[in-house]
Structure 1
């Protein structure tokens, strides 16, 4: 059994690695591609990211409940695998449609990216966390390999982009094929129709999920996420701002690839250390710590000038994200019904991020054009600081996993 658990850890780590290789190859330079190759302005790009957030929102709501029903079965992962393999041709079609009609291209691209990556990563991460709880390994240690996958792909993304952006899209599809092979190797032995706790999966009903909406502690978590998820809006067009700091766009593209790759290598190291830190300071304090670092990063981005100092502020992401991800899963496990772990993560965290992204993406695009990147980053940073500070009083201190759970049905 221990050997099987070790095998599952390795396969899940590899799945995360190649999921992020596919995601980074196709999307890490998305805003640069839309700006330089497709010829869109910042406001148009903001609209695309807003549509992307809407599609991710619906995907996350459905994905979360479905995955909780499935438990550790792989049905939903097979759908995501197909989308990963098709990502290369889909991005080529995305660019073609944008040149014909912005709205048509935005709907197609936003739907595909939201369904595949912004929604799909939540499924894979929550599946991995569920397996980690069952098999006794730390989620952060597996998620670390996802960061490494992003770093490896991003290291080459800028160079391939300067040769031909379509090379990145081809690499994404090849990585999707590797993901498919790995998923065939993942063997999770569970009695038919049961979740990882041994409870029949059918016992998880829509009423269980909707009951979350009646819990004040759920809305306290959502309020915290509303502030911290601004980092996604911040990151959307940051490559454009960074590339503008260099004499030529080609040099800026390549340097951003190197910077992003280095950042994610640091992020992977953070994923390895984050479980130790969060276990010592507690899940709530981990969330507050991550939020404050995030606010500092955004405010600093608006105050400093030049590639070196802007690069340093960007690297703070490698501190905040690992602590945030590990803390959010541990906080949910301590304060909510474990059977709804996917719904909690995909709705309470990812879905809320999509809602805020939908609202703020076009506003951010307008702000970049009206006030500039630096002023816009200052505003974002202040917003994150305020919501994080208020969350100190709203979030619950660590309880016990069973103290706040819904009543569990007896296994049959």
Structure 2
């Protein structure tokens, strides 16, 4: 199986740079966010759930705007500039604004943090992914081979982040700002303007209208897809982001060892995830996006159940590595499912609203009650419940999701419509 990474294509190189520095910045603080809040600042499970819920609520609002605007902008970079500025300001914000307010004024910190993180990361992640996906279709390279570099960036950030976090989390936050500056440099030199020939040919393409966007929400398949995302990806994200880091840290007798080991483990996991990003697109091309979504859901179920059954550090560490298979399968299958079943000009809207907002709604609705359930019954019972919900959702998706295959949608030429 040949993996095409077109290094001679400058559009591929710049797109990979976006993903490399964005995900490196995100992993430096997001990988340790729950540990920082609970172990360093002493927040409860319910408070943790509140923060995640409000973060996701605000990010959902930004995703709506990002999706519609980026589809209208095509491959123009206006919103990407905003993402770079937010990342660059992350260090001062986390150290001098967010952390003190979490201690002195939790409600204000919750709102300001939700706005900041929503703009730059929780909604920004989907924006950057969908922007690069548009670039990949326009300039003839597979999105997954560019996303590979994003995973490597996340792995590198998690690796050094675990070391820095055990010394002082503020080191992590300043490194985030450094990644933001590098992201802005990429954006400064990346030219995505259309040539005169492209402009002439694209004037013949019917522009997007409000009816094009509304048509998505009238499609029954869209709502089946949304329900599947909420029942799988939302539950899995609550498990993976809010619960697993603290659960894993609790397995260590020495609490100071936990962040360092978790950073190494997270780095290894994302490294294998990067390899998966390069290879899995070709697997999905063979089995189809629906089958890939089903398979990703089964891997989620196995990982959550494994955490419910076992407490051995080595077994749990191995279970963590399943994330490296599940993420590439799910993320790339979402793009291919969307392009196969809906208007490909609306890929940003589908990814940000149909996928990211749908999962955000699930997190908003479920984070606080799951946090309270955890406070009463502990990890294992909560994990069993979550795995059961994901399994039921997989059965729902099997009977409702479209089997249309992405092979019917070919990569567009350089001068084709977005």
TM-score bucket of the superposed structures, by smaller chain: over 0.9
Tell me the equivalent position of 2:107: 103
Shift in Å at residue 196 of structure 1? Answer: 12
Relative to the length of structure 1, the TM-score reads 0.93
Relative to the length of structure 2, the TM-score reads 0.92
Tell me the equivalent position of 2:29: 26
Shift in Å at residue 73 of structure 1? Answer: 0.3
Q: Is the 8 A contact 2:303 2:319 kept in 1?
A: yes
Counterpart check, 1:137 vs 2:137 = no
Counterpart check, 1:46 vs 2:54 = no
1:106-117 equivalences under 5 Å are 106-117=110-121
Unaligned runs of 5+ in 2: 410-416
Q: 1:196 to 1:173 in 2, by over 3 A?
A: farther
Distance (Å, rounded) in 2 between the aligned partners of 1:64 and 1:295: 30
Shift in Å at residue 399 of structure 1? Answer: 4.9
Match of 1:345 among 338, 344, 351: 351
Q: Deviations over 1:161-204 (max 9, x none)?
A: 12111000000000100000011121123158x89982589922
Tell me the equivalent position of 2:316: 310
Tell me the equivalent position of 2:71: 68
Distance (Å, rounded) in 2 between the aligned partners of 1:382 and 1:275: 28
Q: Deviations over 1:82-120 (max 9, x none)?
A: 101111111121111111121111111122112211100
Match of 2:240 among 235, 239, 254: 235
Q: Deviations over 1:305-324 (max 9, x none)?
A: 12111111111110111011
Counterpart check, 1:223 vs 2:210 = no
Unaligned runs of 5+ in 1: 404-410
Give the root-mean-square deviation of aligned CA atoms: 2.3
Distance (Å, rounded) in 2 between the aligned partners of 1:207 and 1:290: 33
Q: Is the 8 A contact 1:85 1:176 kept in 2?
A: yes
Distance (Å, rounded) in 1 between the aligned partners of 2:6 and 2:261: 42
Distance (Å, rounded) in 2 between the aligned partners of 1:188 and 1:48: 37
Q: Is the 8 A contact 2:300 2:326 kept in 1?
A: yes
Tell me the equivalent position of 2:124: 120
Shift in Å at residue 19 of structure 1? Answer: 0.1
1:151-170 equivalences under 5 Å are 151-170=155-174
Counterpart check, 1:206 vs 2:219 = no
Q: Is the 8 A contact 1:334 1:399 kept in 2?
A: yes
Shift in Å at residue 148 of structure 1? Answer: 0.7
Tell me the equivalent position of 1:258: 264
What SS is found at the alignment partner of 1:280? helix
Q: Deviations over 1:331-369 (max 9, x none)?
A: 111110011000000000001011001011112211221
Tell me the equivalent position of 2:379: 373
Match of 1:283 among 272, 275, 289: 289
